[in-house]
Structures are given as structure tokens and as C-alpha cells.
């Protein structure tokens, strides 16, 4: 495969020594801005006995304090901004149903860089100027919709600002407008594929060629399913509001890890227990520092996402570090009768059974003083009740022997579990009332 088109080839191919030099220069400026303008950072640096000038190499960053989600809540709404609110041209916020939302802000310059990084990311997946890009990420406070929107416009695509929901309409517009790229959460893309099949629409035979999917964990099995059912090449997009939104990292056409844009972000992996940085290649928690954000500089933000990095130059020619697929967060870990279980482990067992669809729901309840896990999954055919009960026993046995937790398994018929319109809800924890 050729390296293909790049939106900003000079920086995408910059040699690693050049990238590190650029990072150091930008990091020094960013720490200075945070210290001068944000009381939270000033207090934190002072408590650690550090001044921005103490950062003389990229390695020195490990001496600086972390930032965590609750710092945003504690400084609600604008306390972490490094510019007067009047210079903030856009606000986004989390949609969390409990507690205060986390609010993020952007200057005009931040928005401009975001659009460039999104254009760069879309180009890396194979989207080209002139393509019709159907954007089914939610518009609104969520960063997905507008993030993709401005990036696709910057790349000079024709953007269809569809947002989530109204799936039948999505399918008519996808075919009528001849979309070449679909941007959506992977779970919603699967919902679109299913509804299209049910209505006899052959999306695989349409001009649709690229899927840009992210905002939630998904697996290689799900990718294979989306590739086949939509007739596309599905690429993984990673990002988070606190750092920018989508466009922090993207899989190129090689699909061998997600390029994290190191001219604007610095990526570290830490051991979530000891909080010490881990060497390149080891698995741990991803920590990101912004290098060019003005409204909301983030210093060592603990993402909670578990992954690892590789700095080998990719076959596409891009030199930026690659983040391996994020399969879960360290705060989605469920503790069930003392056993640590990640939803992705249950998913891995489920997809190992032929005929089990990638729709599942995990429900945690308390029975007496014991935790109880119910795993509901769907088959993709209409097999009878006895066969489903037999399959449920096999799944339960595998979960017990591979993960070490006993659970109840219910195998549902196609379409019985709720479908996603954005980020899929995979876990319901009914053990204690919401905070
Ligand atoms: O989900 C931004 C985004 C929009 C990314 C569209 C990609 C596409 P938040 O709502 O702040 O921002 O959620 C961020 O979602 O910390 C991860 O836990 C998870 N996440 C995002 N992308 C991926 C991915 C957007 N590709 C949180 N794989 C992050 C796994 C992902 N998890």
C-alpha cells in the first residue's frame, strides 16, 4: 500500500528527533502558560516545588503533578481556563447524568488546530477532498459531531450534518447522497448496518468505502463485522473532550495502531498503581499533556484509558507514535464478589461463540449481600429456546473458567437488546443508588 495522501506531510513525516525538539519547545511554553494563568496549576507546581523553567527535557515532565477529571469538576465551570472567558469561542461539556458536567473551552486558535488535526486524521483513513462525509456523531455538547464537522469541511469534503438517531433517514441519505465515508460510533454504525439490511438496502454495494469509528471501545471482531456488512474499511479514532475531542489519534490505512499527533500532544504510559512512567511498549494508563491548547492547557491528564505505545515508524510513512487499540478504562473495571472483571473480557468470550452477535448488556445487582452479574447477549439467528439455553450454559461455563466469575447468562433473539444511537451502554450497575 502506498503512503497515500497526507494533509500536512511535512509534520506527519517529521523525524522523531525533530518531533521531540518541537515537543520540548512547545511543552515549555504550555507549562509557562498554565503556571501563569491557572491558579490550580500554580498551586500544584508550587506544592511539588517546581517552576515551569525546571522542565529542561521531556523526561522532566514526570516530576510534574497529574491532572484528573475531578480537577475539572472542582473548578467548574471555567476555573481551569488560561484565557479570559471572552476569548473562548466554543464550550463543550460532558453529558454525565450525575454530578457536575466537565466543561471544556476553545479559543479561535484552538478550534483552528482542532479542525486541522481532524482533517489530517480523516485524510489518514483514506477520506479525500471532495468526498461526501456522512456524520452520524451527535451534535451538541458532545465533541464528536462538531469535531468531525469542522475537520471534514477543512479537508474540503461535503459534510452531511446528520447527528445520531432517525436511522431510516440516515440510510436514505447515505445512499441518495452517495456518501463515501461514514463517521459514527461503532455501535451506532452496526445499528445502521442492521436496519439497512432489514430494509433491503445494500450499503455494501454503495459508494461507502471508509468508516471512521470511535468514542467507545470496540473489538477486531466488531471491525470485521462492520467491514463486511457496510463494505468499508473501518478505522479507529480516539480522543477525549478534556484534551480536545476526536482527532487526538487515528488509525491510518494500515490499521496497525492509532497515530497520536505528537506535534500537539505528549503521550505517556504510567503504571496506574505506582504512577511511575512505563517504558515504550508496556501496557498501562495513557496520560496526555497538551502542547498548543490556549483556553484549556492540560498537564499530564490521566485518561484512565488502558493501552500501550509504539514508536516504530509505520508503513504509511507517518512518524508519530502509535497508540494500540483502547480496550477499556481502569474505571470500567467491575468488582464482582472480589473478582476484577472488565467488560471487554466478557465481550471477548461472547464473540468467540459463532452466531453470537456483538450486542450485549451486563447488569450488576445485589442479591442479599452478594454481587450478581447477568450477561445478556443476542444470537444472530432464530434458534429455538432449547438451543439458546444450551448456548447460555456454554457461555456461562467459559466465563467461569476463563475469567473466574460466576454469572447468569441469557441468550436473546435478534433485536431484543436495546440498540445504540451514540455511545453504547454495555454495563448497568444497579447495586447502589447513583451518587
Ligand atoms: O468520545 C471524543 C470522540 C468523539 C472520540 C468521536 C472519537 C470519536 P469523550 O466523550 O470525552 O470524547 O469520551 C472520551 O471515550 O477517554 C475513552 O474512554 C473513550 N474513547 C474514545 N475513543 C475511543 C476509542 C469522545 N477509539 C472517552 N476506543 C475516552 C476506545 C474510546 N475508547
CA neighbor of 3 nearest in space, from 315, 219, 214, 250:
315
Co-location of 32 and 67 in the same domain: yes
Phi, psi dihedral angles at 223 (to 5 degrees): -60, -45
Are residue 406 and residue 313 in the same domain, yes or no?
A: no
The residue from 301, 331, 361 where one domain ends is 331
Ligand 1 neighbour 326 (Cβ under 6 A): yes
Domain that holds residue 157: 1-331
Domain boundary among 281, 302, 331: 331
Considering only CA atoms, which of 112, 106, 108, 124 is closest in space to residue 11? 124
Alpha carbon distance 421, 163 (integer Å) = 9
Cβ–ligand 1 distance for 138 under 6 Å, the answer: no
Whether residues 167 and 147 fall in one domain: yes
Atom of ligand 1 nearest to the CA of 249: 26
SS3 304: strand
Ligand 1 contact via 301 beta carbon (within 6 Å): no
pLDDT of residue 369: 87
C-alpha 238 to ligand 1 mean position (Å): 5
Residue nearest to atom 14 of ligand 1 (CA): 240
When divided into structural domains, the chain yields a total of 2
Q: Would you say the CB of residue 332 lies under 6 angstroms from ligand 1?
A: no
Helix axes 343-351, 385-403, angle to 10 degrees: 130
Ligand 1 center to residue 214 CA distance, Å? 6
**328, pLDDT greater than 90:** no
- Contact call for residues 62 and 56 (beta carbons, < 8 A): no
Report, as an integer, the average pLDDT of 339-350: 93
Looking at residue 434, its pLDDT comes to 44
The atom of ligand 1 lying closest to the CA of 423 is 1
219, 364: one domain: no
Shared domain for 275 and 414, answered yes or no, is: no
pLDDT at 223 over 90: yes
Q: Is 315 among the domain residues?
A: yes
Report how far residue 270's alpha carbon sits from residue 287's, in angstroms, rounded to the nearest whole number: 7
154 part of a folded domain? yes
pLDDT at 99: 77
Please indicate, yes or no, if residue 434 is contained in any of the structural domains: no
Task: Report residue 190's pLDDT band, with 50, 70 and 90 as the boundaries.
Answer: very high
Q: pTM of the predicted model, to two decimals?
A: 0.96
Distance from C-alpha of 54 to C-alpha of 249, rounded to nearest angstrom: 29
CATH code: domain of residue 403: 3.30.300.30
Whether residue 351 is found in the same domain as residue 319:
no
For 16-67, the pLDDT digits (tens) are 999 999 999 999 999 999 999 999 999 999 999 999 999 999 999 999 999 9
Is residue 435 one of the residues assigned to a domain?
no
Name which residue sits closest to atom 13 of ligand 1, judged by CA: 240
Please tell me if the CB atom of residue 114 comes closer than 6 angstroms to any atom of ligand 1.
Answer: no
Distance CA 328, CA 24 (A): 30
On whether both 339 and 327 belong to a single domain, the answer is no
C-alpha cell read off for 412: 436473546
Torsion of CA 400, 404, 410, 415, to 10 degrees: -120
Looking at the fold, whether 290 and 420 belong to one and the same domain comes out as no
342 and 321, same domain (yes or no): no
Count each helix (H run) and each strand (E run) in the chain, helices first. Answer: 11, 21
Q: Does residue 61 belong to any structural domain of this protein?
A: yes
In short, whether 157's Cβ falls inside 6 Å of ligand 1 is no
Q: Which of 69, 104, 239, 246 to mutate to test the pocket of ligand 1 (most atoms within 8 A of CB)?
A: 239
Domain CATH number, residue 197:
3.40.50.12780
Residues 324 and 366 reside in one and the same domain = no
pLDDT of residue 432: 72
| Confidence at 298, pLDDT banded by 50, 70, 90 | very high
All three cell numbers of 308, joined, read: 500501550
Give the residue from 285, 315, 331 where a domain finishes: 331
pLDDT attached to residue 96: 67
Check if 144 has its Cβ closer than 6 Å to any atom of ligand 1.
Answer: yes
Question: What average pLDDT does range 236-253 have in this prediction?
Answer: 98
Specify whether 316 is located in the same domain as 345.
no
Return the pLDDT at 331: 87
Distance 96 CA to ligand 1 centre (A): 14
Cis peptide before 77 (omega within 30 of 0): yes
CB 361, CB 347: distance < 8 Å: no
How far apart are the CA of 289 and the centre of ligand 1, in A?
16
Measured in Å, residue 369 CA sits from the centre of ligand 1 at 35
Write out pLDDT tens, residues 388-427: 999 999 999 999 999 999 999 999 999 999 999 999 999 9
Q: Which helix (H) or strand (E) holds 395?
A: helix 385-403
283 and 352 housed in the same domain = no
Q: Which of 93, 214, 333 maximizes ligand 1 atoms within 8 Å of its Cβ, making it the mutation to test the pocket?
A: 214
Amino acid at each position: 500500500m502506498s503512503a497515500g495522501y497526507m494533509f500536512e506531510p511535512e509534520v506527519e513525516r517529521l523525524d522523531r528527533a525533530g518531533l521531540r525538539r518541537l515537543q520540548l519547545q512547545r511543552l515549555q511554553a504550555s507549562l509557562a502558560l498554565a503556571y501563569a494563568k491557572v491558579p490550580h496549576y500554580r498551586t500544584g507546581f508550587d506544592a511539588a516545588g517546581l517552576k515551569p523553567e525546571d522542565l529542561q527535557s521531556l523526561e522532566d515532565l514526570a516530576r510534574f503533578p497529574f491532572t484528573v477529571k475531578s480537577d475539572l469538576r472542582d473548578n467548574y465551570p471555567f476555573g481551569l481556563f488560561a484565557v479570559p472567558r471572552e476569548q473562548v469561542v466554543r464550550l463543550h461539556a460532558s453529558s454525565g447524568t450525575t454530578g457536575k458536567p466537565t466543561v471544556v473551552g476553545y479559543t479561535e486558535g484552538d478550534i483552528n488546530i482542532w479542525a486541522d488535526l481532524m482533517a489530517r486524521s480523516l485524510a489518514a483513513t483514506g477520506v479525500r477532498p471532495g468526498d461526501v462525509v456522512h456524520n452520524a456523531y451527535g451534535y451538541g455538547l458532545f465533541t464528536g459531531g462538531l469535531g468531525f464537522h469542522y475537520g471534514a469541511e477543512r479537508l474540503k469534503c461535503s459534510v452531511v450534518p446528520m447527528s445520531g438517531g432517525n436511522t431510516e433517514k440516515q440510510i436514505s441519505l447515505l445512499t441518495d447522497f452517495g456518501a463515501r465515508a461514514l463517521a459514527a460510533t461503532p455501535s451506532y454504525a452496526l445499528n445502521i448496518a442492521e436496519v439497512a439490511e432489514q430494509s433491503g438496502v445494500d450499503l455494501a454495494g454503495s459508494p461507502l468505502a471508509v468508516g471512521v469509528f470511535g468514542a467507545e471501545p470496540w473489538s477486531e471482531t466488531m471491525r470485521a463485522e462492520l467491514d463486511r456488512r457496510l463494505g468499508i474499511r473501518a478505522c479507529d479514532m480516539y480522543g477525549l473532550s478534556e484534551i480536545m475531542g476526536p482527532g487526538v489519534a487515528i488509525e491510518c490505512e494500515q490499521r496497525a495502531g492509532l497515530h497520536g499527533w505528537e506535534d500537539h500532544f505528549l503521550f505517556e504510559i504510567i503504571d496506574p498503581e505506582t504512577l511511575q512512567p512505563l517504558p515504550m511498549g508496556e501496557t498501562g494508563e495513557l496520560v496526555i499533556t497538551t502542547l498548543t491548547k490556549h483556553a484549556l492547557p492540560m498537564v499530564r491528564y490521566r485518561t484512565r484509558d488502558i493501552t500501550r505505545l509504539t514508536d516504530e515508524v509505520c508503513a504509511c510513512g507517518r512518524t508519530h507514535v502509535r497508540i494500540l487499540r483502547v480496550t477499556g478504562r481502569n474505571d470500567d473495571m467491575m468488582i464482582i464478589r472480589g473478582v476484577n472483571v472488565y467488560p471487554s473480557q466478557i465481550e471477548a468470550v461472547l464473540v468467540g461463540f459463532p452466531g453470537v452477535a456483538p450486542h450485549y448488556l451486563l447488569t450488576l445487582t445485589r442479591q442479599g449481600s452478594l454481587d450478581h452479574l447477568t450477561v445478556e447477549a443476542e444470537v444472530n439467528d432464530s434458534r429455538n429456546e432449547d438451543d439458546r439455553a444450551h448456548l447460555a450454559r456454554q457461555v456461562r461455563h467459559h466465563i467461569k473458567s476463563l475469567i473466574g466469575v460466576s454469572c447468569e447468562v441469557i441468550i436473546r433473539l435478534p433485536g431484543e437488546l436495546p440498540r445504540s444511537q451514540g455511545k453504547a451502554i454495555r454495563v448497568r450497575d444497579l447495586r447502589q443508588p447513583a451518587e
